[in-house]
Amino acid sequence: MTPFPESDLPIAITMLLLFGAILTIAAGLVRRSFAWPVVLLTLLVVLGDAIAMLLAIVRGGPLRHTLGGWAAPIGIEYVVDALGAFVVVVIAAVSVAVTVYARAAVRAENPDQEVAFLGMMLTLLLGLTGMVLTGDLFNLYVFYEISSLAGYALLAIGDRKAPVAAFRYLILGTTGASFYLLGIGFLYVLTGSLNMADVARLLPTLHNNPALPVAIALVVAGVGLKTALFPLHGWQPDAYTYASSTTTAIIAPIMTKVSAFVLLRLLFFVFGVDLVTRLLPTGSILAWLSAAGIVVTSGMAIAQRDVKRMLAYSSVAQVGYVGLGIGLANPWALTGAVLHILNHATMKCCLFLVAGSVALHARRRTVAEYAGLGRMMPWTFASFTLAAVAMVGLPPTNGFFSKWYLLLGTIRSGSWPLVAVVGASSLLTAVYFFRLLESIYTAPATAKPEAPAGDPEAAMLVPTIALGVAVLVLGLCNSWFVTQVLQPALPAAVRLPGS
């Protein structure tokens, strides 16, 4: 069907984004307005590539690409299963939506940094898609750092305080990456290999080695920092609050979710289900820390006055669900965790796009200032409401289904405090979102003469609405995704019965 072998589809994504980023900067140097079409075109091709990849995998099984013809485990290989391909499709789709939004938003907010912003955005996506596609532990480190470096640059674009928050994240993020590097150093010393499948094959003979728990702790801490898993989330609220709205809209939904996905892959496909749940308490530590994080950060979200800051804390809480699901490691919890990675990407992106539209268009930032906006910006807040309802977890939005699986998972695990946490956190989420929705729709608007009333222009409105609709569609299609994509891609020990 394609003019090149299907196994080249994964590497094509990396190449497209790499050359797209260089071309964006070059085009932007010629003329500032040339940069944006290059980015949009690149991302549309990447989206097509990712969809072709997903279809090829659903038809013919996982794709493997060996770089430079050096066969694994000596060479570096890209390995993509249906789940990885689906994550790449979601990354590409969300970034297309954000790119459409970005043109007007960046020009209004940071016009001088437009070209740099767009180039860095593609570099960030290059790193993140690479983290999903690669089958090599050191290659993962390189992509981790590529995405982090682009992330620091992007987060520094924003208001006066953005560089301070970005610097703090740089110190923490690089320490995290170094921990990960030290962790794979331990694994390399133990096994003599860096290929994920090869390490997974060699590790069972080393289960009694005292260096192995250290390696796992270092790797989990390293990836957990980028995921902003509680209590490693300290960098995140400041970074999200002070960054420009488009930066937050691309980094918040994608970066932490991709890292969570990578954590899942490392724990279950490299270290193995047995090792992280039965032989070592990695899973339970992760689950209980995440549970504590869900409660604490949901409470913090309630206390915030700035809407973006509230959303940032709620991000940490939502990533806590993913950590909880990964930690419990039973089929239901894990299904919920993966589902939540994808669902949260769509809803959080929608919420941050709305927060950006309101900040730029209506010049409002705090919860109090949002009063009465529902009538002034009806379409924007229709999408916001959909996404907020999904965050709380009401049917038929996608948030309901991931929380449902998580709740089943906690019940199956028999730890009733965790069941209470999942239930209570939905209530806490409802508190801060319904409080906001109430003032948006019922309170009288405060007049701001300098801010025009009404929805923003189509370029910013359409991506917001598209994501709001996606929240519903993903909710209605979740059974197809769970049975067709998710279950076949999980290790047999953590698959739902009957699939």
Partner 1 sequence: MDITALVTGRWPYLFTIVLLLIGLYGMLVKQNLMKKVFGLNIFQGAIILFFIVHAYKHGATVPVLDDISGTDPARYVNPIPHGLMLTAIVVSVATTGVALALLIRIYRTFGTIDEKDLLVRLRDEDPQR
> Binding residues for partner 1, per CB under 8 A?
138, 141-142, 145, 149, 152-153, 156, 160-161, 163-164, 166-167, 170-171, 174-175, 177-178, 181-182, 185, 188-189, 194, 305-306
CA distances, 335 to each of 54, 414, 416 (Å): 19, 17, 19
With b for 16 or more beta-carbon neighbours within 10 A and e for fewer, the 382-401 pattern comes to ebbbbbbbbbbbeeebbbbb
CB of 215 vs partner 1, minimal distance in Å: 12
Q: C-alpha 21: how far from its chain's center?
A: 21
Shorter beta-carbon distance to partner 1: residue 28 or 183: 183
Shorter beta-carbon distance to partner 1: residue 233 or 403: 233
Q: Which residues 6+ apart lie within 8 Å of 17 measured at CB? A: 42, 46, 122, 123, 125, 126, 129
Shorter beta-carbon distance to partner 1: residue 141 or 404: 141
Strands 77-80 and 63-66, by their bridges, are antiparallel
Q: Which residues 6+ apart lie within 8 Å of 228 measured at CB? A: 235, 236, 256, 315, 316, 319
Q: Is the alpha carbon torsion for 203, 205, 208, 210 positive or negative? A: negative
Question: CA-to-CA distance for 166 and 79, rounded, in angstroms?
Answer: 32
Q: Classify residue 414 as exposed, middle or buried by CB count within 10 Å of its CB (0-12, 13-18, 19+).
A: exposed
Q: 65 and 7 in contact (C-beta within 8 Å)?
A: yes
Shorter beta-carbon distance to partner 1: residue 63 or 149: 149
Question: CA-to-CA distance for 425 and 301, rounded, in angstroms?
Answer: 11
Q: How many CB atoms lie within 10 A of CB 94?
A: 26
Written as six digits, the tokens of 453 are 């009333």
Q: Classify residue 285 as exposed, middle or buried by CB count within 10 Å of its CB (0-12, 13-18, 19+).
A: middle
CB of 141 vs partner 1, minimal distance in Å: 8
Shorter beta-carbon distance to partner 1: residue 314 or 385: 314
Question: CA-to-CA distance for 196 and 251, rounded, in angstroms?
Answer: 26
Q: Which residues 6+ apart lie within 8 Å of 374 measured at CB? A: 381, 437, 440, 441
Shorter beta-carbon distance to partner 1: residue 167 or 379: 167
CB of 422 vs partner 1, minimal distance in Å: 30
| 3-state secondary structure (DSSP) of residue 443 | coil
Question: CA-to-CA distance for 63 and 47, rounded, in angstroms?
Answer: 17
CB of 161 vs partner 1, minimal distance in Å: 6
Shorter beta-carbon distance to partner 1: residue 148 or 402: 148
Q: How many CB atoms lie within 10 A of CB 67?
A: 15
Q: How many residues does the chain have?
A: 499
CB of 259 vs partner 1, minimal distance in Å: 17
Shorter beta-carbon distance to partner 1: residue 178 or 415: 178
Question: CA-to-CA distance for 429 and 419, rounded, in angstroms?
Answer: 16
CB of 22 vs partner 1, minimal distance in Å: 16
CB of 237 vs partner 1, minimal distance in Å: 10
Shorter beta-carbon distance to partner 1: residue 188 or 441: 188
CB of 164 vs partner 1, minimal distance in Å: 6
Shorter beta-carbon distance to partner 1: residue 140 or 349: 140
CB of 320 vs partner 1, minimal distance in Å: 23
Question: CA-to-CA distance for 174 and 196, rounded, in angstroms?
Answer: 22
CB of 178 vs partner 1, minimal distance in Å: 5
CB of 110 vs partner 1, minimal distance in Å: 13
Shorter beta-carbon distance to partner 1: residue 193 or 314: 193
DSSP string, 310-356: HHHHHHHHHHHHHHHHHHH-SHHHHHHHHHHHHHHHHHHHHHHHHHH
CB of 64 vs partner 1, minimal distance in Å: 21
Alpha-carbon torsion, ordered 360, 362, 365, 367, to 10 deg: -150
Shorter beta-carbon distance to partner 1: residue 305 or 435: 305
Shorter beta-carbon distance to partner 1: residue 153 or 436: 153
CB of 247 vs partner 1, minimal distance in Å: 15
Question: What is the CA angle 97-98-102, rounded to 5?
Answer: 125
